Amino acid sequence: MPGLSLNASFVLPSPLQLLRSKFLSDSGVKLWIKRDDLIHTQISGNKWRKLKYNIRQMQQEGKKGMITFGGAFSNHIYATAAAGQYFGFSTIGIIRGEASAALNPTLAFAHSCGMQLQFVSRMAYRDQLGLQSELDLPWEEYYLLPEGGSNGYALPGCAEMIDELKQQLDNQYPDYCCLSCGTGGTMAGLITGLKGAGQLIGFSALKGDFHQSAIADLLAQNQYPQYTNWQINTRYHFGGYARHNAQLIELMQCFYQDFQIPLDPIYTGKLFYGIFELIREGFFPKGSTVVALHSGGLQGNQGFTKRFGIHLPS
Ligand SMILES: *Cc1c(COP(=O)(O)O)cnc(C)c1O
């Protein structure tokens, strides 16, 4: 299979940094952050990990581009549009919700990368099979990538992050890996990479209890062993997807002051809020090595500032 050629705009392996503060040294927990947000300025974070083998598969199938799905602020839409421009394939984004007069920063960027945007109602969006008969799009010539880029081909790309980590930690697996979960595709990939080593905690960014079965299904459908070293924490979704409150914003601002690392309010802000709470509660034994995944998502901060008038470092 031909390799994808990546120029110097990709930072791989992504850096691993130890976070240092008085609180953390008092806690006895070694907290590392895996900077997937630095992989690429536009094809960032876990979205690149999930796209990588999907792009190869698309090329192998001789398709001319990708059709994919997402909300109007979707990091996945943003990254797929940028990847299409970078690797030279065409992209069509099926966007949930009606078109507004002006494109928001996420969609304006996707459009500027050449992505064709197709808006569909929330109701039609839910019926993806129905869309294929209703929408006049070149379905046959395009590779279909589900929402969030989460399918079987997403898993090996995410698993590579664990290989990088192990090397960066002197050939050791961390005691805990923590990440934010949307669809659960990234978590499923990390589970396959860990092959049963350590513990994985997925912090749900959404309300509801669907992750456990969504992840188990994704693993089973792709013939991966049913590892049991993982759990979903549902305590830090802050009311649901894209909801936020003053405490969350404050955590993000303090985190930036202490470590000069920007977070996003949808995923990684909630993740670090949850991790710091668990550390405070003594959840991680003293001496543990904990790796938190910075999965990216910073492109959305601009739109967030525009919508809510709350400045976020980015
Ligand atoms: C999409 C996204 C996630 C969620 O990833 P899933 O694989 O859907 O669980 C987490 N963090 C960021 C920054 C994202 O953009």
Indicate whether residue 46 lines ligand 1 (CB < 6 A): yes
Which pLDDT value is given to residue 229?
Answer: 98
Average pLDDT, the chain: 96
pLDDT at 110 over 60: yes
| Residue 252: other Cβ atoms inside 10 A | 25
Q: Which atom of ligand 1 is nearest to the CA of 181?
A: 9
Residues 203, 180: Cα–Cα separation, whole Å: 5
Token pair in block for residue 224: 């991966």
Query: Nearest 5 degrees, angle CA 290-CA 271-CA 172?
Result: 20
Indicate whether residue 148 lines ligand 1 (CB < 6 A): yes
What pLDDT, in 10s, does the model give residues 41-74? 999 999 999 999 999 999 999 999 999 999 999 9
- The dihedral through the CA atoms of 14, 201, 218, 229 has a sign that is positive
In this structure, which amino acid lies at residue 18? L
pLDDT confidence bin for 128, thresholds 50/70/90? confident
Side-chain-side CA neighbours of 217 within 13 Å: the count stands at 9
Which pLDDT value is given to residue 96?
Answer: 96
300 Cβ contact list (under 8 Å, min separation 6) = 73, 75, 106, 264, 265, 266
Please tell me which of 4-13, 119-128, 153-162 the model is most confident about, judged by mean pLDDT.
153-162
pLDDT at 93 over 80: yes
What pLDDT, in 10s, does the model give residues 231-258? 999 999 999 998 999 999 999 999 999 9
Distance 185 CA to ligand 1 centre (A): 8
pLDDT at 2 over 60: no
pLDDT at 3 over 90: no
Indicate whether residue 181 lines ligand 1 (CB < 6 A): yes
Angle subtended by helix axes 75-87 and 45-60, to nearest 10: 50
pLDDT confidence bin for 166, thresholds 50/70/90? very high
- The dihedral through the CA atoms of 155, 156, 159, 160 has a sign that is negative
Calculate mean pLDDT across residues 120-137.
92
What pLDDT, in 10s, does the model give residues 194-228? 999 999 999 999 998 899 999 999 999 999 998 99
Pocket test for ligand 1, best of 186, 299, 312 (most atoms within 8 A of CB): 186
Token pair in block for residue 193: 């990479």
pLDDT at 100 over 90: no
How many Å separate Cα 245 from the centre of its chain? 21
pTM above 0.85, yes or no: yes
- End-to-end CA, the chain: 37
Indicate whether residue 269 lines ligand 1 (CB < 6 A): no
Distance 280 CA to ligand 1 centre (A): 25
Question: Which residue in the block uniquely carries the two structure tokens 């984004």?
Answer: 93
Which pLDDT value is given to residue 1?
Answer: 45
Q: For residue 286, which of 55, 50, 89, 29 has the smallest C-alpha distance?
A: 29
Token pair in block for residue 238: 């802050």
